[in-house]
Structure 1
């Protein structure tokens, strides 16, 4: 646990740093709310000095306080594609969570889109990929945004859920050893890195390294993980994902692994689209029910 505390210690610096540069970066809401889910642009801290992450926030009607769900987006090693990527929103998934009483933050991590800055979670190529470093860097980015939102008056201090997709899910797995008082549960959609190298489906860069890194994240894990993958995921297919789950569990991690129905032509994107999210309510409710002893508060319709 001392190692984990050492890893997450920089998160304390994020809070102090955010206070010291408040005059330079105006964290918080950046515009008016709009739409049924009160969509609003925000700026939140990142681990990169003087760099704010662009984010979008959704929340139920009323003043709260609401439980917080943070969605960590997918990524790519392709620099050009990262720069051109639009602000991740995951609107259908966010709407599902808002309907269940959550405020939902989707932060854009450094090295992507409008946020820009250095790509902190670089895995360092294929053959020599450092998946542990990549996951922990992503975890630190997730927690920088999460820690800031948990300070807001409309957010509950308990019951925070981290939901990660692909590389974002990999970063969420790296958080499994965090303090359960800060994170109640982790839901990871097809977590991993290095999938489909050179566009080749059902292949993974340095697969043994990725499996070993999953075991590293399971060592000392304290937060329960719901691990979801579509039957036709061409990045981290179910058979390969099971190997990662087995390594995570063997090292001490607790993971509920479930294979979702096939979705469209490529199941890896099931968490991003409206039709894909229609397949998720039962699994999502199962995962969320296990994250708290309190009944899920459902937002009232306007």
Structure 2
């Protein structure tokens, strides 16, 4: 390396350090993270003589735009999709808002307050994905018609069933979509014979029709999709001609399927997603103008203890009927989540959004007769210390 090259390299590093310091100062000067700029719209999807309304959450930065767009697709919980809560991915929304994106989170047909019925497609998982992708396209048709939207810069992402929807959406070649991000995508259909091979075959077919680059995240201890399934899906997808970078991050907690929603998962996906955004020509770094959306330091979870198994309802210190019912509800929620207990009686829980640990303690304090509340469980770990 010549002296000129060395000086140039040093200059670039100093400039980068100065920019990082300026951003850090902007974030530090903000006394707390701004509330998420959340609104909900019902997006019409016309199909023949019928119109379906899709409940869609928007997180829009302040200003006129146009803003680059990221769509985040939800998974599918057990039970009737109509009773599934509106998806509110607080942490991921802040990640993209801080980079100047408008965040779009649609609930597909038959989910939550969206009208119509969930179209499952039976055991045809390929058809299922394509049906879901149509809802995403309808929402993007609405979004790209708005003055605040940059219709030439779009990223589509999703977790679990939402990740599968994202891969299926890639076959549409939607204008302006620069990249796809799949977090543990797929659909578990244990009632269908050979359902894992169905996923592998369908992914191969999607790959034949997709030319948008994609990024995939899967872990070894995924409770939905074992390694042979997601590796087979990736191999088939790439063999079909699609571009897909696979991030196999090994084990994560007790279930790698929850990585995207867990607070600890941010350290795994956020740096890699930032690099992917840079590679596809999308904004990848936090911007000082949107520093207020950077997540404030969250409550730190205590270390895990061996007090009980996460699903041992009989070990919850408050054995009142209300507390046990609340704990069962907590166990059915996705990460991030927290459950707090008061040893003298009282409990509280929270999930999703900003700092569920602090909100669980606050909810517990409202019910406690006396004394302080303490976290009992965080995500999939018991942290209670008697």
- Which bin holds the TM-score, normalised by the shorter protein? 0.7 to 0.9
SS at match of 2:69: strand
* Structure 1 or 2: more helix by fraction: 2
The equivalent of 2:200 in structure 1 is 211
Task: From the superposition, tell whether residues 45 and 241 of structure 1 become closer, same or farther in structure 2 (CA, over 3 Å).
Answer: same
8 Å contact from structure 1 (residues 204, 236) kept in 2: no
Structure 2 Cα separation of the partners of residues 204 and 257 of structure 1: 27
- TM-score, normalised to structure 2, is 0.62
SS at match of 1:301: helix
8 Å contact from structure 2 (residues 219, 251) kept in 1: yes
SS at match of 1:55: strand
The Cα of 1:204 is off from its aligned counterpart by: 8.8
Unaligned runs of 5+ in 1: 1-34
Higher Cα Rg, which structure: 2
8 Å contact from structure 2 (residues 53, 115) kept in 1: no
Query: Deviation per CA, 1:203-261, whole angstroms, max 9, x where unpaired?
Result: 99522121111111011311011111133211123332111000011111111011135
- TM-score, normalised to structure 1, is 0.78
User: What is the aligned counterpart of 1:256 among 245, 248, 251?
Assistant: 245
8 Å contact from structure 1 (residues 176, 217) kept in 2: yes
The answer as to 2:182 corresponding to 1:188 is yes
SS at match of 2:117: coil
Q: CA RMSD in A?
A: 2.4
The equivalent of 1:101 in structure 2 is 100
SS at match of 2:268: coil
Spell out the pairing of 1:108-119 with structure 2 (5 A cutoff): 108-119=107-118
The equivalent of 1:40 in structure 2 is 39
Higher relative contact order (CA 8 A, sep 6+): 1
Task: From the superposition, tell whether residues 294 and 98 of structure 1 become closer, same or farther in structure 2 (CA, over 3 Å).
Answer: closer
The equivalent of 1:5 in structure 2 is none
Structure 2 Cα separation of the partners of residues 188 and 45 of structure 1: 26
The Cα of 1:275 is off from its aligned counterpart by: 3.2
8 Å contact from structure 2 (residues 43, 56) kept in 1: yes
8 Å contact from structure 1 (residues 176, 221) kept in 2: yes
Task: From the superposition, tell whether residues 156 and 83 of structure 1 become closer, same or farther in structure 2 (CA, over 3 Å).
Answer: same
SS at match of 2:137: helix
